[in-house]
């Protein structure tokens, strides 16, 4: 079993303008994902993220321990695609993670990232 974080690149604005039918498709796709994970492993958590405009970035100046705390508005990376949601799941292997991800809405780009144990 491997613990994977499934990161979803998707813009919330697309959701805001979605029709009832589209929304039903999205809900059904997420249900199918969760059902697959439940059958083959464990779903530890999930979340939908607000737009990057609502993000706040916090870091230490110069990455030094005594560096001044800098709080800025916006996400830490300027990117075309932003993470719009995530799943935290435990599945047997990458093949299962890909099979689960394939059930998600077709408008998503999905990144599957294994978690590791820091020792």
Partner 1 sequence: MRQEWGRLVALLLSQFRRLDLVEDALGDAVEVASRTWPVDGTPDNPAGWLMTAAKRRVLDRLRTEGVAQRKLPLLLTDAERQQEGARTMADGGSLVEDDVLRLVLMCAHPALALEAAAALSLRLVLGVPTADVARLFLVPEPTMAARITRAKKRIVGAGIPFAVPDAAVLPERLDVVAQVSYLAFTAGYAPGTGPDLLRADLSGEAIRLVRVVLGLRPDEPALVALLALVLLQHSRRDARVRDGRLVLLADQDRGRWHHDEVAEAMRLLRSPVLAGPVTPLTASYALQARIAAEHATAPTAEDTRWDRVVGLYDLLLQVSPSPSARLARAVAVAEDRGPAAGLAALEGLEIPSNHRPAAVRAELLARSGDTDAARASYDQAIAACGNDVEREFLLARRADL
* Residues at the interface with partner 1 (CB under 8 A): 2, 4, 92-95, 97-99, 112, 114, 116-117, 119
Longest dimension (CA), the chain: 53
Cβ proximity to partner 1, 71 vs 118, nearer residue: 118
Cβ proximity to partner 1, 9 vs 18, nearer residue: 9
Alpha-carbon Rg of the chain, whole angstroms? Answer: 17
Minimum CB distance to partner 1, residue 81 (Å): 20
DSSP letter string over 47-97?
A: EEPPPGGG-EEEEEGGG-TTSPEEEEES-SS--SS-EEEEEEEEESSHHHH
Minimum CB distance to partner 1, residue 110 (Å): 13
Yes or no: say if 48 and 28 are a contact pair by the CB < 8 Å rule. no
Minimum CB distance to partner 1, residue 8 (Å): 18
Minimum CB distance to partner 1, residue 113 (Å): 9
Gap between the Cα atoms of 88 and 58, Å rounded: 23
Cβ proximity to partner 1, 35 vs 70, nearer residue: 35
Cβ proximity to partner 1, 8 vs 97, nearer residue: 97
């Amino acid at each position: 079993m491997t613990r994977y974080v499934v990161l979803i690149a998707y813009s919330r604005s697309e959701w805001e303008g979605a029709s009832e039918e589209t929304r039903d498709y999205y809900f059904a796709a997420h249900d199918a994902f969760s059902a697959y994970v439940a059958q083959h492993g464990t779903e530890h958590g999930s979340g939908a993220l607000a737009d990057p405009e609502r993000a706040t970035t916090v870091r230490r100046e110069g990455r030094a321990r005594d560096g001044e705390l800098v709080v800025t508005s916006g996400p830490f990376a300027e990117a075309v695609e932003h993470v719009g949601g995530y799943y935290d799941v435990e599945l047997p292997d990458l093949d299962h993670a890909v099979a689960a991800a394939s059930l998600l809405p077709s408008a998503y780009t999905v990144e599957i990232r294994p978690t590791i144990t820091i020792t």
